[in-house]
Structure 1
């Protein structure tokens, strides 16, 4: 059972991990290149999750064919995410890269929620969300100016 606190902690851990990964990939990107850093990130990540999946779940992927076809593009989208993080962090720095990445995430998320795209529940953009996005955009400008 997920409690509000556990959900907040998992989300915060994810945010910290994304930032740490960004810096690590920035170093790899500078020394090896974007494609090579993405490759190493995915190979090492795939090997680790394969082991964890086999140990804890027995590797049950029997239902994958029941998924909508477009959900399987998540791996391709992940390549864009990981590649853009490594590329932008190594050139802009961690703060500037992640403030831009985060702002783009919020805007895309608001649009996806507004229209219920990709299987999302419709959650209309209201004035509160618009004000939050506006405040965030001010933060982006203050951070990268």
Structure 2
């Protein structure tokens, strides 16, 4: 079952790559803020319809959760905006390499301290080595 989750994550990563290229092109045609807004608007409509027909959670419980748990939308909007802005300037691969490096740094901090109620996974030498290789790959990607 663990491999299924990894394959799903791999597919999501592929979708993010396509999304970055699509959103970058959209931003060039209609504007950066407008492109980010349209992308989020369409995603919001799709998720509304999916949750309407397939959802089984407590949608209205969002009014009773800690307010910091609602910041995901702001962070997602920031991500989409930045991708719309930078993909036309540095390309999809360079943009995603930088994003992945940032994700691994922050996620390692989150895991190490068990932030946001997550499982505590200590940062060790293997993870440090992996991160070193990732930053080497980032440097190689950005080199001319």
TM-score computed with the length of structure 1 as normaliser: 0.92
Provide structure 1 residue ranges, at least 5 long, that are not aligned to the other structure.
none
Gaps of 5+ in 2: none
Mapping 1:61-100, distance limit 5 Å: 61-100=59-98
Which stretch shifts more, 128-137 or 25-34?
25-34
Which residue pairs with 1:133 in the alignment? Answer: 131
Secondary structure at the aligned position of 2:120 is classed as coil
- The CA deviation at 1:108 is 0.8
1:61 Cα offset (Å): 0.7
Give the Å deviation of 1:31.
1.4
Structure 2: distance between partners of 1:20 and 1:143: 18
Rounded Cα–Cα distance in structure 2 between residues aligned with 1:119 and 1:92 = 36
Aligned pair 1:120/2:118, yes or no? yes
> Where does residue 53 of structure 2 map in the other structure?
55
Considering only aligned residues, what root-mean-square deviation do their CA atoms show, in Å? 1.4
What is the distance in 1 between the residues matched to 2:2 and 2:25?
35
Partner of 1:36: 34
Q: Which runs of 4+ in 1 moved over 4 A?
A: none
| Cα-to-partner distance string for 1:40-68 (whole Å, 9 max, x where unaligned) | 01111111111111111267413223322
> Which has the larger displacement, 37-46 or 62-71?
62-71
SS of aligned partner of 1:63: helix
Quote the Cα distance in structure 2 between the aligned partners of 1:58 and 1:108. 31
